[in-house]
């Protein structure tokens, strides 16, 4: 089951905010009135224990008021600034490892409302070579991460494990054969839109050839692990309204729940 954490966070923040407002405009004045009445009846001298009892907030009020500022800060940070994600698969190897925790700039592609993801303030459009997080078009409750390859209007062709954009083959240079003795995989440098990064090619996986034109308002994305990636070659384009943000850093490597987090792997990515 996929939980919509954004929706849960919005609802929780709203409920705690309602409790804070209810206390401010109604419950707190009632407590003050009761205290003033009791003090008047006692001639102004009340035991400290009685004063504390009359001023005491109900448990649900205290909890709601305490949680509200925390939830509000988390909501703002997560919805509009930076959100952490964990890499669950090897589709972005060698750039991103399974277990990497990444940071995503949520406002880079525009300010969007939480839950609905509606863009209210446009800022930047995705650029070729960006590592983008987006909602999977076939199941928007799931987040995917891939590299932006094709922009609106681009003609994308993938043939013989070579990427062509508008008829031009994208530069690739061999870095290593893995393993060296009986290579199963190639490690290559590739440059997209001025962004230099590394990709894997699996020598024994079938080719995924095809040619498409990217429609307006959509993007063509691929994994850096080219022969082991479920991407636009299989399910099509990413519409702009499903973009979540641009990944810009790995802050910790934590492959298993009971393993020791490795902060030495922190780095900026491109």
- Regarding whether 132 and 111 lie in a shared domain, the answer is yes
- Regarding whether 170 and 58 lie in a shared domain, the answer is no
Mean pLDDT of 119-136: 97
- Regarding whether 35 and 54 lie in a shared domain, the answer is yes
What CATH number corresponds to the domain at position 158? 2.10.109.10
Residues with a known catalytic role: 91, 146
Percentage of the chain modeled with pLDDT above 70: 99
> Comparing 13-22, 49-58, 79-88, 178-187, which segment has the lowest mean pLDDT?
49-58
- Regarding whether 118 and 71 lie in a shared domain, the answer is no
Domain that holds residue 68: 5-80
Of the ranges 35-44, 119-128, 180-189, which is most confident?
119-128
Q: Which of 27, 54, 80 is the endpoint of a domain?
A: 80
Q: Which of 62, 80, 98 is the endpoint of a domain?
A: 80
Mean pLDDT of 78-96: 94
- Regarding whether 99 and 173 lie in a shared domain, the answer is yes
pLDDT-derived band at 1 (thresholds 50, 70, 90) equals: very low
Predicted local distance difference test score (pLDDT) of residue 203? 92
Paired residues of 104 in beta bridges: 83, 247
> pLDDT tens-digit profile of 9-52?
899 999 999 999 999 999 999 988 988 888 888 877 888 888 88
Question: Is the per-residue pLDDT at 218 higher than 90?
Answer: yes
Q: Which of 18, 47, 80 is the endpoint of a domain?
A: 80
Do the Cβ atoms of 148 and 163 come closer than 8 Å?
A: no
pLDDT-derived band at 105 (thresholds 50, 70, 90) equals: very high
- Regarding whether 165 and 34 lie in a shared domain, the answer is no
Of the ranges 113-117, 157-161, 259-263, which is most confident?
157-161
Q: Please, what sign has the CA dihedral across residues 24, 30, 36, 38? A: negative
pLDDT-derived band at 164 (thresholds 50, 70, 90) equals: very high
* Structural domain count, the chain: 2
Q: Please state, rounded to an integer, the average pLDDT across all residues of the chain.
A: 93
> Comparing 104-113, 147-156, 174-183, which segment has the lowest mean pLDDT?
174-183
């Amino acid at each position: 089951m996929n939980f919509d954490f954004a929706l849960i966070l919005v609802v929780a923040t709203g409920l705690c905010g309602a409790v804070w407002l209810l206390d401010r405009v109604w419950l707190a004045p009632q407590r003050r009135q009761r205290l003033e009445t009791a003090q008047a009846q006692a001639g102004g001298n009340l035991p400290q224990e009685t004063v504390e009892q009359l001023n005491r907030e109900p448990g649900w009020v205290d909890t709601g008021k305490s949680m509200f500022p925390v939830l509000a800060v988390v909501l703002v940070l997560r919805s509009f600034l930076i959100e952490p994600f964990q890499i669950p698969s090897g589709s972005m190897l060698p750039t991103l490892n399974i277990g990497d925790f990444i940071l995503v700039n949520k406002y880079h592609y525009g300010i969007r409302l939480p839950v609905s993801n509606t863009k209210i303030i446009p800022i930047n459009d995705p650029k070729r070579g960006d590592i983008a997080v987006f909602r999977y078009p076939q199941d928007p409750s799931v987040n995917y991460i891939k590299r932006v390859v094709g922009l609106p209007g681009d003609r994308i062709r993938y043939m013989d494990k070579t990427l062509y954009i508008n008829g031009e083959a994208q530069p690739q240079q061999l870095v290593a054969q893995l393993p060296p003795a009986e290579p199963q995989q190639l490690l290559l440098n590739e440059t997209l839109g001025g962004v230099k990064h590394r990709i894997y090619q699996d020598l024994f996986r079938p080719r995924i050839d095809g040619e498409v034109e990217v429609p307006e308002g959509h993007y063509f994305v691929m994994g850096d692990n080219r022969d082991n990636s479920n991407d636009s070659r299989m399910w099509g384009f990413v519409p702009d309204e499903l973009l979540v943000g641009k990944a810009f850093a790995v802050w910790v490597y934590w492959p298993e729940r009971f393993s020791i987090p490795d902060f030495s792997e922190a780095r900026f990515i491109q």
